[in-house]
Amino acid sequence: MTRRRSKAVIEPCRYCGQLFRRLEHLYRHERTRMAVTGGKFGDLLSRHNKLSHTTAQEAATPNAGATKQQTTAGNATADMDLCWDPELLMQDILPIALFDSTILNDAAPSTQPVPSKTFPTLTSHLPSMDGIEHSPEANDILEAWAVESEVPWSVSGAAHEKLQLEVQAYSEVLDDGYEISSRKTLARNMEAYFRCNQELLPFIHPATFSAGRQDVELVLAVAALGALHRLEHSEASELYSVARAILLEKLRRENPPFLSYLLTEESDHDLESRDDLGNLQTFILLIQFVSWANQDILPEAFVMSSQLACLIRQNSPTQSDQVPLDAEWSSWVAHEERRRTLYAAYTLSNIHSIAFNRPPLIRNHEVYLFLPSDAERWKSTTASQWCRSRRSVDQGFQEVFRNLLDGKETSTDAPLSSVALYVLIHGILQEILLMRQQWPGPMLPQTMKSFENALCAWQRSWELTRDSTRGPLSSNGPLGLTATALLRLAYIRLNANYSLDQGLVSEDLRNIITGPQLSLTHSLSLHRAVLHATHALSMSVRLSLELTARITSPFRSIEQSLCGLECALLLKDWLELIAMAVASSGVEGVRRIEKSVLQIIHGIIQETPLAKKPNIFEDDASQIRAMARDVIKLWANIFEGAQLGFDKAITAGLQLLASDP
């Protein structure tokens, strides 16, 4: 028998001490620390050392440089160059240290270092094969080869025949002569779902999903969303209609257990039944589809959302779902998939509340589930791989959520998964929306401060999690970008209570109450929200407006679309507020932080084709108003490649808003 080679000890990074599990990851990490950029940005390693490796003496004397006051306008602007920093721009979120600094208080620049996170490095080098025959990963490679044909979108001949027979059983509710799509068509549509949509809201376990074992309505709903991502709208609409017709007819025929939940108040049914879970998942997929695909059938989404909320409430999600310590992989998957499915329904209800100004159908106080596990365990494709993954500590939603509301971040010993934090930011945002219903005008200072503490605690927790994104090319990017988009949205809703429903339904954003009616007030909270909105715009400009519009559109989550819309509206209203102040009091009445942000926005516009416009303005106020229109035009360009009905409504609304004189 061949003796297993002893595992080599991997030293920490010689620059920052970070630990890595594989040697090539360490080498790549150190190469990024030694990379040199041209021009004014200098040596990244020197910058990294200056920002991240503060000596003990410097840490002990944080006020050593406090006596140096920056008084010139040029220095005031230089403080905010962080928002156009090439490294900072490639982060999905502004570092919390930026808001902890004194810059928002119009005081001297802070001497505290700002964490630097580099853009993910791409490499064309193949991984080393040395010793692979003796490594633990070798077994996984062999297992992966063995089950390569068992990808979740695989449709065998037997599975396709089974699906055809199931469709025929519901022929009376379908169009005459309807036939299910071919194996290849189903497979490529399902592949699009698992590669795109699944990453935005991962609640169907891909490693155990099989078309031959699922009900036909769930398979068709998956294929419908996949076809939508492939921009095959006719095929997607047909798949949606068939899946919905079969699901509703199935519930009618089987009255118990599901349809009775809508008619009675008595149920002790166990949700862990595979059939029931599949029905819930089908409902969620259909609601996702109809909410964003076509505005004409949007009312169907609200009807199904009410039914889904009733079904979940009847199935007692308040019961503990903690996974036993001795659970096997199959049992863990059943618990985790159930948990994520219920959270998917919860977050979908919140999104409807944000977009369409509807009360949330599932409230925070009703959720007593444990939080989802991390991506490593969820994405394990075999029992052996799952056993080797790091076990996370189960934490209940209510306990962690209340700690966040009290301003307490999660423990470094038990970091939360990115999915768990995605759920929790939804919870904080729901609290803000409910508070907004009670206080349509400006929030009380103590209430505002409480929510800001919660958002800061959430961000600190986010920075601790193992599978949070560090940039747009991260493998966890889609969900990470969505979660941080919700953070921006929360800051915006603290300061501006937009009612988007009228503008989105009519595709005319002029129907949304904006401008002075919002009663925006100069405050640190407003400045923080404006900085987040500015950062969102700068990332798109940095990546290229054309690229963002055409490449990212099919992979943009609905939360990212809503965030982009509200960032556009907030920047427009804030710039108009500043223009009013300049018109009445002159430039002298503008605060230092406001001047800095104005220059940042002006710099962003100068990096776009709008910079070529002739400057024909007679005064500063007119120029600032023109910047407000330019910001709307830029966001309209970002949404220009939209293919979904919801995004098209945003695009049309922004274009109308930009054309206003």
DSSP codes of every residue in 97-148: HHHHSGGGGTSSPP-SPPP--PPPPP--PPPP-TTGGGSTHHHHHHHHHHTG
More confident of the two residues 483 and 71: 483
Task: Copy the structure tokens of residue 244.
Answer: 């919905």
Q: Residue 341's closest CA among 395, 377, 378?
A: 378
More confident of the two residues 289 and 473: 289
Q: Torsions phi, psi of 474, nearest 5?
A: -65, 150
Q: What percent of the chain has pLDDT over 70?
A: 68
pLDDT of residue 266: 43
Q: What percent of the chain has pLDDT over 90?
A: 38
Of the ranges 2-6, 9-13, 484-488, 502-506, which is most confident?
484-488
pLDDT at 44 over 60: no
Q: Torsions phi, psi of 12, nearest 5?
A: -70, 165
- Residue 43 pairs in a beta bridge with 36
pLDDT of residue 609: 87
Task: Give, rounded to a whole angstrom, the gap between the first and last alpha carbons of the chain.
Answer: 81
pLDDT of residue 76: 41
Helix %, strand %, coil % of the chain (to 5): 65, 0, 35
Task: Over range 158-168, report the average pLDDT.
Answer: 95
Q: Is 43 helix (H, G, I), strand (E, B) or coil?
A: strand
Task: Check residue 497 and give left, alpha or beta (phi > 0: left; psi -120 to 50: alpha).
Answer: beta
What residues contact 510, with CB distance under 8 A and at least 6 apart? Answer: 503, 653, 656, 657, 660
> Rounded distance, CA 578 to CA 569, Å?
14
Q: Is 280 helix (H, G, I), strand (E, B) or coil?
A: helix
pLDDT of residue 640: 82
**Average pLDDT taken over every residue of the chain:** 77
pLDDT at 115 over 50: no
pLDDT of residue 188: 95
* Cα angle for residues 42, 43, 47 (degrees, 5° grid): 100
**If you write DSSP's letter for every residue of 572-640 in order, what string do you get?**
HHHHHHHHHHHHHH-GGGS-HHHHHHHHHHHHHHHTSGGGGS----SSHHHHHHHHHHHHHHHHHHHTT
* Cα angle for residues 590, 592, 596 (degrees, 5° grid): 100
Q: Is 568 in contact with 632 (CB distance < 8 Å)? A: yes
More confident of the two residues 244 and 84: 244
pLDDT tens digits along 417-457: 899 999 999 999 999 999 988 877 778 889 999 999 999 99
The DSSP call for residue 370 is B
pLDDT at 47 over 60: no
pLDDT tens digits along 365-388: 989 899 999 888 999 999 999 988
> Rounded distance, CA 135 to CA 4, Å?
8
- Residue 209 pairs in a beta bridge with none
Q: pLDDT tier at 512 (50, 70, 90 boundaries)?
A: low
Q: Residue 205's closest CA among 218, 216, 224?
A: 218
pLDDT tens digits along 169-184: 999 999 988 999 999 9
Q: Is 578 in contact with 627 (CB distance < 8 Å)? A: no
Dihedral sign for Cα atoms in the order 81, 457, 520, 657: positive
pLDDT of residue 599: 93
Q: Residue 419's closest CA among 455, 456, 383, 379?
A: 379
More confident of the two residues 571 and 316: 571
Model pTM?
Answer: 0.78
- Tell me whether residue 474 is exposed, middle or buried, using C-beta atoms within 10 angstroms of its C-beta: 0 to 12, 13 to 18, 19 or more: middle
pLDDT of residue 58: 44
Q: pLDDT tier at 91 (50, 70, 90 boundaries)?
A: low
pLDDT tens digits along 247-300: 999 988 876 555 555 544 444 444 444 457 898 999 999 999 998 887 778 889
Q: Is 478 in contact with 200 (CB distance < 8 Å)? A: yes
> Rounded distance, CA 517 to CA 609, Å?
32
Q: Torsions phi, psi of 115, nearest 5?
A: -55, 140
Which contacts (CB < 8 Å, 24+ apart) does range 256-263 have? 258/311, 261/310, 261/311, 261/314, 261/315, 262/307, 262/310, 262/311
Task: Over range 211-230, report the average pLDDT.
Answer: 94
pLDDT of residue 108: 42
Task: Over range 609-630, report the average pLDDT.
Answer: 82
257: preceding bond cis by omega (within 30 degrees): yes
pLDDT of residue 403: 95
Task: Over range 113-121, report the average pLDDT.
Answer: 39
Q: pLDDT tier at 104 (50, 70, 90 boundaries)?
A: low
Which contacts (CB < 8 Å, 24+ apart) does range 43-48 have? 44/87, 44/118, 45/15, 47/116, 48/15, 48/16, 48/116
pLDDT of residue 539: 86
Task: Over range 528-536, report the average pLDDT.
Answer: 94
